[in-house]
Amino acid sequence: MTSAVEEIRDILRREIAAEYRPGDLLPNERELAERFDVSRNTIRETMIHLEALTLIEKTKRGARVRAADFDMMFSEVTQFLDTSGRTFTDVLNFRRISETGAVPLMVCHVNDDILSRLRDANRQMVAALTAAEAAEADYRFHLGLVEASGNNVLIHLYRVMSVPLRYYLEVGKSHQHDTETARAQHAEIIAALALRDEIALYGAMNRHFQHSGGVLADWLSAREDGGAALSLWPVQRQH
């Protein structure tokens, strides 16, 4: 059964999203207690819930609506990521879906600063002395791509997930051939992006993720029986 606190919390959450802006003050405890016909202690507990959700902050003037905290929201996602083959596969497919899905935005919003950072990250990936350093550079490359999209939700998500994403990107970084292939494919992506060529960018990114899927399949197969049979992206066939 839903408690009074939970019911009032959910009502106020909806109202905050629909009717309030950051900096607006909520009605005081007495007014809210009268409105919902509950004790002020119930309202205080509700405010604690809303504060924990980063929707409000306490001030001397009362409860004030906060700006949306995407980092707090997205950080909850990382607790579900582990080192299973399933999760490695899901993370790769998540990246492929989100990054290729953002291609039309990338070609519209990319600028010279982002292109420069993409080129630097690509060079640093090959020059890295360890797999972890190469994964860090690879992460910065893909973060640059999502930054080129201009989509703040996607950018925040990639930044909050930086630690697990770098961990998963280490797959294949101990093999120079795989890293060099990734560098060449990154260069194709940069070239297409610099030309604002949407079709070429789709093709370059799909080839890159197809390669990444193959590297992951080989790595999973070596690490665990049946790993390569997980939900990797289907190999594209020529018709």
pLDDT tens-place string over residues 136-184: 999 999 999 999 999 998 998 898 888 888 888 988 788 888 899 999 9
52, 68, 84 — which closes off a domain? 68
Q: Are residues 97 and 200 in the same domain?
A: yes
Q: Are residues 42 and 125 in the same domain?
A: no
> What pLDDT is recorded for position 155?
92
DSSP 8-state assignment for residue 21: -
Collapse the DSSP code of 238 into the 3-class scheme (helix H, G, I; strand E, B; otherwise coil) and give the result: coil
pLDDT tens-place string over residues 179-227: 999 999 999 999 999 999 999 999 999 999 999 999 998 888 887 654 4
26, 42, 68 — which closes off a domain? 68
- Give the span between the Cα atoms of 94 and 213, in whole angstroms: 12
> What pLDDT is recorded for position 162?
86
The most distant pair of C-alpha atoms in the chain lies apart, rounded to whole Å, by: 70
Could you give the number of structural domains in the chain? 2
Q: Are residues 57 and 86 in the same domain?
A: no
Q: Are residues 62 and 94 in the same domain?
A: no
